Amino acid sequence: MPFDDRFNQFARVDDLSKPLMQGFPEEAGSALAANAPGLSAEALARQMNVAGGPIESPWPKNGGLLFFNETPERFFPGVQIDVVWFPEGAVGDRFDEKIFKGPLARMTREALGYIQRNFLRETVIKHPDRAEATRI
C-alpha cells in the first residue's frame, strides 16, 4: 500500500484542518467545493479520501496529514523544504538557507515563489542585425 494511503494511527481525524480541506476543492475547481461547508470535517475528509476506517474509529491517512495539517512535521519529522544557495559556488564556505514548513501544497508554493523571486532572472540580448532579441 502506498505511504500516502496508509492510515496514521498516531493521529486523529481532528488533526485534519477543515479550512485547509475546504480550500482545496475550491482551488481545484471541484464540485465538492459547493458541498464542503455543510459537511463535518470527518465527512469531508472521507469524501476527499484522506480519512477512512470504521465509523466508530476513523483514522486520517498520511497524505491527508501532509496536505491538511498546519504542522505535519509533528507526525513526520523532517517534513520541510530547504532552499540552499551557494553564492561562491559549490566549493565556497558560505551559503544562504531558507526553510519552508507547513502543509505540503503551501510549502511547495512558497518555496517555488521564493526561488522565482530571488534566483530566476531573464537576460535579454539585442542583436544589431535583426529585430528579434534573444531571451535567456
Per-position DSSP letters for 12-64, written without gaps between them: -GGGS-HHHHHHHHHHHT-THHHHGGGS-HHHHHHHTTSEES-TTS-EEBHHH
Residue pLDDT tens, the chain, 136 long: 999 999 999 999 999 999 999 998 888 888 888 888 888 999 999 999 999 999 999 999 999 999 999 999 999 999 999 999 998 888 888 999 999 999 999 999 999 999 999 988 888 999 999 999 999 8
Q: What is the pLDDT of residue 29?
A: 86
Sign of CA dihedral 29, 27, 51, 5: positive
The candidate with the shortest Cα–Cα distance to 102, out of 78, 83, 80, is: 80
Cβ-in-10-Å burial (0-12, 13-18, 19+) of 76 comes to: middle
**What's the pLDDT score for residue 46?**
95
pLDDT value at residue 34: 84
pLDDT at res. 113: 97
The residue extents of the domains of the chain are 3-70, 80-136
